[in-house]
Structure 1
Amino acid sequence: RQLEVQGHIPPHRMCVTCAHLQPSKDPKKTPHRCMLLDLSMSDTDLRLDCPVHETADAATQKKTWKIFAQQT
């Protein structure tokens, strides 16, 4: 992630950087949601290179990464 932010590698089309991802507040109880594809997704279903990816704004990406960082 840091390499992408710093511009050392091209951005990946990951769900966690997508405008369509609605991350779960409690992934143990409720899955994440792709609003574009109307899919419920567990952590293992999240994509690293999604063909319908649309980059979320910086504030949304920061919020989403924070949610995922709290899970570890």
Structure 2
Amino acid sequence: SVDLRKAKEHNQRLDEEILALRNRVRSLDSEKKVLGEEVERLKGEICDSQENKQLGNHSPGKMVGAEQKV
């Protein structure tokens, strides 16, 4: 029947949309993980920099991560 065919087509479109959304979520989760690791790395660099300044070990030639491009 026509209704059954339309329902199957609609179901197929929904399945494709669900698959695309799952892939997008997977991609965003991966990006979130990478960015979270970068945040932690930068936090560590900030702490190291602050410790060096407090200890008087700050040398202008040693800029950790300042020249690094992400």
When normalised by structure 2's length, the TM-score is 0.24
When normalised by structure 1's length, the TM-score is 0.23
Max Rg structure: 2
Q: Which structure carries more helix by proportion? A: 2
Higher relative contact order (CA 8 A, sep 6+): 1
Q: Which structure carries more strand by proportion? A: 1
